[in-house]
Structure 1
Amino acid sequence: MYVFVYGTLTDPGRVESVVGDGRYEFDGPATLEGLHRVEGRYPTLAPGGSVDGRLLDVDDAALERLDRYEGVDTGLYVRLGVPLADSDASVQVYVGRPDRLGLGERVEWSDGATFAVRVRTALERSNGMVHRRE
């Protein structure tokens, strides 16, 4: 399974320490269209634009550890699937809640029942997808 990483998880040493004995492999550079990076206590994404990062190929154990690292169970980040261009695959992307990350700029998401729905709506409106880069 692919995960698009754009912050601390682009560092191989950090990934190694997070996933432990889970299997992972970096699979090249990529760009996520439809969201851009914003800085805060931890980096996150906001509607519009694009962000460069890396594709990380992980097994289920590694994905579970990444979820814990990103605070998915506490609602700090949500994880959503985004289409991988020219493929039937999807790529998992972590997006942090701006109200919990002390961002340096205001981030506006569309209305929705949950944060995950608001992120999904923004991605759908912008035809968000991940493109491999060479």
Structure 2
Amino acid sequence: QQIIREQLIDYVRGAVTHMGGISHLKKTLDYAAQYQIKSGMHGPTDISPVGMAAAMHLGLAIHNFGIQEYMKHGAKTDAVFQQSYTWEDGMLHPGDQPGLGVELNVDEAGKYPYQRAYLPYNRLADGTVHDW
């Protein structure tokens, strides 16, 4: 609240999947709007097309939209998560499908068994694991 209230930032950079969901992020952005702070939606490829669609739709629903980060997913991800949103001329378009516009293709997903992966983590000089 302090960094927003004191206008120490210009953008709230957040991902729907990392900030408690659509409703929670919207509440944060509504609060930021009172202080002329815009959204900076996070959209890397480690967020699924569902999270990307949620961020895009949230951006369309708020008054203080700033910028939407977007990274195209790979062919396998696109086959598993069929999206109605498109990227054209530097803009995301939501498409005309209901809801978030993303459908899970269960048969396609079954072709890719789970592979454990590890995200990098941050450590202090003494080796303690620390938040980003």
Structure with more relative contact order (C-alpha pairs < 8 Å, separation 6 or more): 1
Please give the TM-score of this superposition, normalised by the length of structure 1: 0.28
Instruction: Determine which structure has more spread, i.e. the larger CA radius of gyration.
Output: 2
TM-score, length basis structure 2: 0.28
Q: Which has the higher strand share?
A: 1
